[in-house]
Structure 1
Amino acid sequence: MLSRIAESLFWIGRYLERAEGTSRLLDVHLTLLLEDPVLDEEATSLVLLRVMGIDHEASPDHQTVLRLLGWDESSMTSMVAAFQGARESARRSRETVSQEMWEAINTTWNMMRGNRLQHLPAHRSCQLVRERCQVVAGIADSTMSHDEGWHYLMLGRSLERVDMTSRIIESAAYNADSPSAWSQTLRACGAHHAFVRTYRGLATDQQAAEFLLLNRLFPRSVLSSLEQAEEALTALETASGRVPRTGEAHRMLGRARAQLEYGALEDLMQNLPERMSQLQATCSTVNDAVSAHYFDGSGQSVWRAGVR
């Protein structure tokens, strides 16, 4: 496969997952502000912007957060800009992306462009982005051959899911004083129903964090996403004639998975924000390793603090 096409598919996966993850972060942020009247709006907004890699010197309110992470096309961390990146990557790989997938991406972009999301209530805007990303993912799953190109798409999606889920968990850890922080975080990840079924009743914040980090059966958990990324890399390494699990990217993913899987949960909880930041740094390093090995000469993309 041409490195240009492989890179585009990889970034379609990343951008779609990033748009969806950002919509989930925004949704939980807005819900926390509504449900907890004593929550400091400025401090909470600063934390969220910091988690997303934005240094904001002024005193932000929820409108600033909505602009920077929501519908500002010039903000590289907004969900609209992420979807725009997915569309551009899909345009570059039209010969590989299915017609139905391209139409779903292009239609969604036309629904978002020109600040159209601002005319909807904020929660509805987040829901729309989330649902459309899931529509595109479902169409890709059912209309693309699950060949080498598919594995590049899955690698990008899984890697971004690790990054975004770790940011959602980090945000919850900073807002742990709010009684509904972890409950809303579970809802933001689409995990609340699965979590309640797993624990069958009242559960602690630590169990909520454990579920989002370590539950193998929940597809958005960090551990499950790391395993999916490793599986995609194994398929790509096998297709390229290499012995699987020998690349630098694979070693870094395996090391991150082993630290989560075999580490003590109590130690993890004591330094949760720092450990989530380390995971994000690992994702950035893996991205660089994948780009250097598979996309060399195609105009590599750089991923730093959520900015391409």
Structure 2
Amino acid sequence: MIESNVKVNSAKAWFLAARPKTLTGAAVPVMIGISAAVAMYGSSVRVVPAVLCMLFALVMQIDANFVNDYFDFMKGTDDEQRLGPKRACAQGWITAAAMRSGLLYTTILACAVGLPLVYFGGWEMILVGFACVVFCFLYTISFSYIGLGDVLVLVFFGLVPVCMTYWLVAPPTPLMSIPWPVIVLSIACGLIIDTLLVVNNYRDIDNDRRAGKRTLIVRIGERGGLILYLLLGMAGTILAIAGIIYLNWHDGQFMQLIMFIYIQFHIGSFTEMRRIRKGVELNKVLGMTARNMFIFGVLVSVALLFAWL
């Protein structure tokens, strides 16, 4: 639905540009990291870094949305043929100059929120935060155009947020002591969240080809994109079950049952994706996939918390 009554640079314009529906993608990895720490350490977990990790993730997601909005607009990727949700700069809701200021301020805010984590995790947190900011820009400017966007999703929506949240929330331990089940869960999380990028790029495959944007879906084609979408959800579920069973071994069968709930939703969205194939109607699958992703995060978190209860 196109918002036609949005005043330029208004609060409503900035709200739309922030894309609040995308914030679940930032929240899910942190949820899983916190839940894994609770499964291992119970009430000994640290609350303040948990809150800071969540706030940092949310602000960075908004920052990434602003970066994507601005640079895709400047490159001409967001044109009148765009099938996905409308972007603020392309629609004229926010001027390019205002968006530059906006992404600068959100970057500064993210750094301010993340800086106290140095107290809990040491100076290494500065390197982690720096990498998050740099690759937030590089994703839109470069990596998404050469088919490496999915790799960044796996790293920065899986490995980094889940493992770093776990380590910061857990009682003080050496960085290299992150247990393998948490790493497995982080990979599972990254794979599940990548399904959102896959369906997004699947929908935009024709526009991306015209714009010279060589996403992974452009490289492997529509059929390959469908297969990839299905396999990512399956692989993520299998890995999540493996990690959950290790951390909650005494109730493994129940946890497997919980995770297979996600599979039913994933197969449902895959079926819709295969039926629709092309066009703006694929935005329906985008919404379904965002829902699936949140369900996955809740199910994994609940399963992990059962280990503590």
Structure 1 portions without partners, runs of 5+: 50-56, 74-79, 196-207, 216-221, 299-308
The answer to whether the 8 A contact 2:198-2:217 is kept is no
Residue 47 (1) aligns with residue 86 (2): yes
Residue 148 (1) aligns with residue 181 (2): yes
Map of 2:93 onto structure 1: 59
Does the residue aligned with 2:268 lie in a helix, a strand or coil?
helix
Cα displacement (A) at 1:274: 0.7
Cα displacement (A) at 1:262: 5.8
Deviations 1:218-265 (A, max 9, x none): xxxx33432332123111222111335745651243113433566682
The answer to whether the 8 A contact 2:233-2:266 is kept is yes
Does the residue aligned with 2:288 lie in a helix, a strand or coil?
helix
Distance 1:257 1:282 in 2: 6
Cα displacement (A) at 1:186: 5.6
Cα displacement (A) at 1:33: 1.5
109, 131, 135: which one pairs with 1:108? 131
Structure 2 portions without partners, runs of 5+: 1-35, 39-44, 164-175
**CA 1:169–1:94 in structure 2 vs 1: closer, same or farther (change >3 Å)?**
farther
208, 229, 241: which one pairs with 2:236? 229
Map of 1:211 onto structure 2: 224
TM-score in terms of structure 1 length: 0.51
Distance 1:285 1:262 in 2: 18
The answer to whether the 8 A contact 1:104-1:136 is kept is no
Distance 1:89 1:224 in 2: 39
**CA 1:58–1:283 in structure 2 vs 1: closer, same or farther (change >3 Å)?**
same
Distance 1:86 1:190 in 2: 33
What amino acid is aligned across from residue 161 of structure 1 in structure 2? D
Deviations 1:135-185 (A, max 9, x none): 9769979x7766122123223323332234444545x2xxx8xx6435558
Map of 1:280 onto structure 2: 290
What amino acid is aligned across from residue 159 of structure 1 in structure 2? I
1:152-163 equivalences under 5 Å are 152-163=185-196
Cα displacement (A) at 1:294: 2.8
Distance 2:75 2:86 in 1: 13
Cα displacement (A) at 1:18: 5.7
What amino acid is aligned across from residue 155 of structure 1 in structure 2? A
Map of 1:181 onto structure 2: 208
Residue 289 (1) aligns with residue 289 (2): no
The answer to whether the 8 A contact 2:191-2:233 is kept is yes
The answer to whether the 8 A contact 1:230-1:250 is kept is yes
What amino acid is aligned across from residue 288 of structure 1 in structure 2? V
The answer to whether the 8 A contact 2:266-2:289 is kept is no
Distance 1:286 1:29 in 2: 30
**CA 1:257–1:162 in structure 2 vs 1: closer, same or farther (change >3 Å)?**
same
The total of aligned residue pairs comes to 241
Residue 123 (1) aligns with residue 158 (2): no
Distance 2:235 2:113 in 1: 21
Residue 265 (1) aligns with residue 283 (2): no
Cα displacement (A) at 1:47: 1.0
Map of 1:33 onto structure 2: 76
What amino acid is aligned across from residue 30 of structure 1 in structure 2? F
TM-score in terms of structure 2 length: 0.51
The answer to whether the 8 A contact 1:87-1:109 is kept is no
**CA 1:18–1:263 in structure 2 vs 1: closer, same or farther (change >3 Å)?**
same
Distance 1:182 1:155 in 2: 29
What amino acid is aligned across from residue 283 of structure 1 in structure 2? M
RMSD: 5.8
- Identical positions, percent: 5
**CA 1:268–1:210 in structure 2 vs 1: closer, same or farther (change >3 Å)?**
same
**CA 1:86–1:266 in structure 2 vs 1: closer, same or farther (change >3 Å)?**
farther
Does the residue aligned with 1:243 lie in a helix, a strand or coil?
helix
Residue 254 (1) aligns with residue 263 (2): yes
